[in-house]
Structure 1
């Protein structure tokens, strides 16, 4: 983890470079040293139906949720979240400068016993690292 889930208004289709944004988010998450690479997931959900503020069709939104596993100190999560939000807003700044836009970000910590996972990507990355060494 984290799992990044980005929701965005469909009227941003021509403005967002989602692959570049996701690359920057993943690189930032890795650079924090807080999250294992094999647990990072990033996905976008295009929202076709939405209403923003007074309903002006020129209004846009992008909201990022990061779901993380439990057990890290709050100050560690806060520092990582600050870096992620900085990257997120920097990547969106060119669009923000020319469009009416609401940018949101929330980091949520998943329940320690009610969160289930099965992932063998960690083993793949470890084996890959060993073969390079």
Structure 2
């Protein structure tokens, strides 16, 4: 933990580099510090994964945008359906509310900056949610963490 999972409409693959977004979000997470100046997330446990949805339906499929004359098209020339990205950060308990808000604000700012060029090309919705909680079962096996112990 933490894991940031991005589910997005596949039409975004034509308009942006999702691998670059994953890297910048992971770097943003790793840069976060708590009130004591300590890292919020362990480097070896930080994950950002993005999954395109090849099949999707968003809102009315673009009808309102076309009717209003505001429906633009993506870089591929696609004037069809809207685009959408859902980001869900899952982390264990133990961080202050202020820290969680700073993390959320930083991730949203980074996401908005990444998608800013697309907002000028097509209609796009972005949602970021942060979940935390006690796991019913939590098992890990990794040889990554020792790389980051000093």
TM range (shorter): 0.7 to 0.9
Q: Is residue 143 of structure 2 the alignment partner of residue 120 of structure 1?
A: yes
In 2, Cα distance between equivalents of 1:52 and 1:70: 33
In the superposition, the TM-score normalised over structure 2's length comes to: 0.77
Q: Check 1:92–1:13 CA distance in 2 against 1; reply closer, same or farther (3 A cut).
A: same
Aligned alpha-carbon RMSD (Å): 1.5
Alpha-carbon offset, residue 122 of structure 1: 1.2
Q: Are 2:43 and 1:37 aligned?
A: yes
In the aligned structure 2, how far is the partner of 1:24 from the partner of 1:66?
A: 14
Contact in 1 for aligned 2:23/2:48 (Cα 8 Å): no
| Structure with the larger strand share | 1
Kindly indicate whether the alpha-carbon contact (under 8 Å) linking 2:22 and 2:50 is maintained by their aligned counterparts in 1.
Answer: no
Question: Which residue of structure 2 aligns with residue 106 of structure 1?
Answer: 129
**8 Å contact 2:10–2:54 — kept in the other structure?**
yes
- The number of residues matched between the two structures is 127
The structure whose Rg is larger is 2
Residue pair 1:7, 1:45 contacting (<8 A) in 2 also = yes
CA 1:12 to 1:41, structure 2 compared with 1: closer, same or farther past 3 Å?
same
- TM-score, normalising length: structure 1: 0.87
Unmatched runs of 5 consecutive residues or more in structure 2:
33-38, 63-79
Tell me which protein shows more helix as a share of its residues. Answer: 1
Question: Which residue number in structure 1 is paired with residue 98 of structure 2?
Answer: 75
Secondary structure in 2 matching 1:118: coil
